């Protein structure tokens, strides 16, 4: 076989590929090629050259997503024990398991961008990095389990589907797998909700009460409207849609499905404006969102403390398997 190095001098440097990871180009030119490649819909792999601006932006985005999956485990986990039938118990365990699996997949994507998992977990537990607003609230009843699995997951999947085309290819591939698994969660959640609204009066009340509490956080979940031209994550095509686009999409699909069940959405101003072609709604409480995601939600500190304790309690296991891969493979 020809030594690949022997091929190297065949072409003069400047005529070689203009792909941005051509390491012979000066930084500014590489940056320009990279930007052109990405904004034109090109994909980036973990081993490709990338400017620090891009690496940092992808890492921040994926890390928060991973944190959210990990923290999102806790509100539902408490109810695995209380699931009222064998099938529900299996489905809820499998759903929470998937979220742990998603955290694993996403932390792996983030790790390959250069930040070790341990460092990400430390930052999360120290309150230095964030997780989604919806995971800062308590789960009060079995009705919450239905509403979370159906509507919180639906709001999430609307955002996640738009990430399957992310310019960062390992993230895009991971989102394909995650979206596939999430679609099962929505079915599970919807089935729980439909069963409860078809049940006794108090079962139905459980769902309505849960919806009343979760609607605010759901409307805040995608974040305030932002200026498309100033959004760096959109520019780098890490994500594809603005907050408002995602919220509109969520409302378009789910408002009719919620009303179909005779449930009342707790927003008197919610309506579809035919002329503007979009949903109108009461302005979500953005102060609440800011306060919640910076660690001041009703369950923020409890959940972080629970994770810190759990990490301390299981540290000896990690130390053990890292110190001694002693068993013959």
Partner 1 sequence: MTLSKVPSAAREAAAKLDAPRRDALAELLLTMADDEFVGGFMDSEWTGIAPILEEDVAMSSIAQDELGHAKALYELLAEVLDDGRDADAIAYDREPEAYRHARLLDLPRGDWADTIARRFLYELADEARLASIGTGYGPLADLVAKLRREERYHRMHVVAWVERLANGGRIARGRLEAALAVAAAVAPTVFTRLDGEPELLRAGILSRPLAAADAAWRVDLTRILVPLELALPPTIEHGPEGRAGHSDAFRWLWREFTSVRRSEVGAAW
Partner 2 sequence: MTDQPPADRALEGGPAGTLEPYEVFRQEKEGGPMIHGGNVLAPDAVLAVHYAREMFGRRNESTRLWVVRRADVHVLDDPDLLDPPLDRSFKKPGGYVMRDKLAAARGKAGTSKPGARAAAHDTTGRRTGGEA
Residues that bind partner 2 (CB under 8 A): 4-5, 7-8, 10-11, 15-17, 19, 23, 45, 47-48, 101, 104-105, 108, 111-112, 116-118, 173-174, 177, 181, 321-323, 325, 327, 329
Closer residue to partner 2, CB minimum distance, 19 or 299:
19
- Binders of partner 1 among 103-132, rule CB under 8 A? 103-104, 107, 117
Report the alpha-carbon distance of residue 270 to residue 55 in Å, rounded: 39
The stretch near partner 1 (CB under 8 A) out of 4-12, 200-208, 211-219, 297-305 is 200-208
CB of 94 to partner 1, least distance (A): 6
Query: Is 324 an interacting residue with respect to partner 1 (CB under 8 A)?
Result: yes
Closer residue to partner 1, CB minimum distance, 88 or 239:
88
CB-count burial class (<10 Å; 0-12, 13-18, 19+) for 158: buried
Q: How many residues bind partner 1 (CB under 8 A)?
A: 47
Residue 231 Cα distances to 143, 223, 226, angstroms: 37, 13, 7
Pick from 59, 57, 55: nearest CA to 120: 59
Query: Is 180 an interacting residue with respect to partner 1 (CB under 8 A)?
Result: no
CB of 184 to partner 2, least distance (A): 9
Check the CA dihedral 93-94-99-103 and report its sign: positive
- Out of partner 1, partner 2, none, what residue 90 binds, judged by CB under 5 to 8 A for its kind, is partner 1
- Out of partner 1, partner 2, none, what residue 19 binds, judged by CB under 5 to 8 A for its kind, is partner 2
Query: Is 301 an interacting residue with respect to partner 1 (CB under 8 A)?
Result: no
Query: Is 326 an interacting residue with respect to partner 1 (CB under 8 A)?
Result: yes
Query: Is 85 an interacting residue with respect to partner 1 (CB under 8 A)?
Result: yes
Beta carbons within 8 Å of 159's beta carbon, 6+ residues apart: 222, 239, 241, 246
DSSP assignment of 118-184 equals: HHHHHHHHTTSS---GGGGS---SHHHHHHIIIIIHHHHHHHHHTTTT-SBHHHHHHHHHHHHHHHH
Q: Please give the helix or strand (H or E) that residue 272 lies within, else none.
A: strand 271-273
- Out of partner 1, partner 2, none, what residue 173 binds, judged by CB under 5 to 8 A for its kind, is partner 2
CB of 84 to partner 1, least distance (A): 4
The stretch near partner 1 (CB under 8 A) out of 8-16, 36-44, 69-77, 291-299 is 69-77
Report the alpha-carbon distance of residue 69 to residue 158 in Å, rounded: 15
CB of 221 to partner 2, least distance (A): 27
Contact (Cβ atoms closer than 8 angstroms) between residue 134 and residue 298 = no
């Amino acid at each position: 076989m020809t030594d690949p190095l022997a091929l190297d001098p065949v072409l003069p440097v400047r005529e070689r590929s203009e792909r941005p990871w051509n390491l012979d180009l000066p930084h500014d030119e590489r940056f320009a090629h990279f930007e052109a490649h990405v904004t034109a819909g090109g994909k980036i792999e973990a081993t490709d050259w990338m400017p620090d601006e891009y690496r940092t932006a992808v890492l921040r985005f994926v890390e928060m997503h991973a944190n959210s999956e990990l923290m999102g485990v806790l509100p539902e986990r408490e109810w695995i024990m209380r699931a009222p039938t064998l099938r529900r118990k299996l489905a809820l365990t499998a759903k929470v398991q998937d979220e742990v699996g998603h955290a694993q997949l996403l932390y792996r994507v983030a790790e390959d961008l250069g930040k070790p998992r341990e460092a990400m977990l430390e930052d999360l537990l120290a309150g230095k990095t964030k997780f989604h607003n919806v995971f800062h609230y308590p789960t009060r009843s079995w009705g919450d389990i239905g509403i979370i699995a159906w509507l919180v997951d639906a709001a999430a999947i609307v955002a996640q589907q738009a990430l399957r085309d992310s310019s960062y290819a390992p993230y895009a591939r991971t989102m394909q797998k995650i979206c596939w698994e999430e679609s099962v969660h929505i079915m599970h959640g919807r089935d729980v909700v439909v069963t409860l609204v078809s049940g006794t009066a108090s079962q139905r009340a459980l769902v309505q009460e849960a919806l009343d509490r979760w609607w605010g956080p759901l409307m805040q979940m995608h974040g305030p409207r932002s200026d498309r031209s100033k959004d760096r994550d959109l520019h780098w095509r890490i994500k594809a849609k603005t907050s408002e686009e995602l919220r509109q999409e969520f409302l378009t699909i789910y408002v009719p499905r919620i009303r179909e069940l005779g449930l009342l959405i707790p927003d008197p101003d919610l309506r579809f404006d035919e002329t503007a072609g979009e949903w109108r709604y009461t302005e979500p409480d953005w102060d609440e969102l800011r306060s919640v995601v910076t660690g001041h939600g009703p369950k923020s500190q409890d959940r972080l403390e629970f994770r810190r304790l759990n990490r301390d309690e299981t540290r000896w296991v990690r130390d053990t398997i890292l110190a001694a891969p002693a068993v013959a493979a």
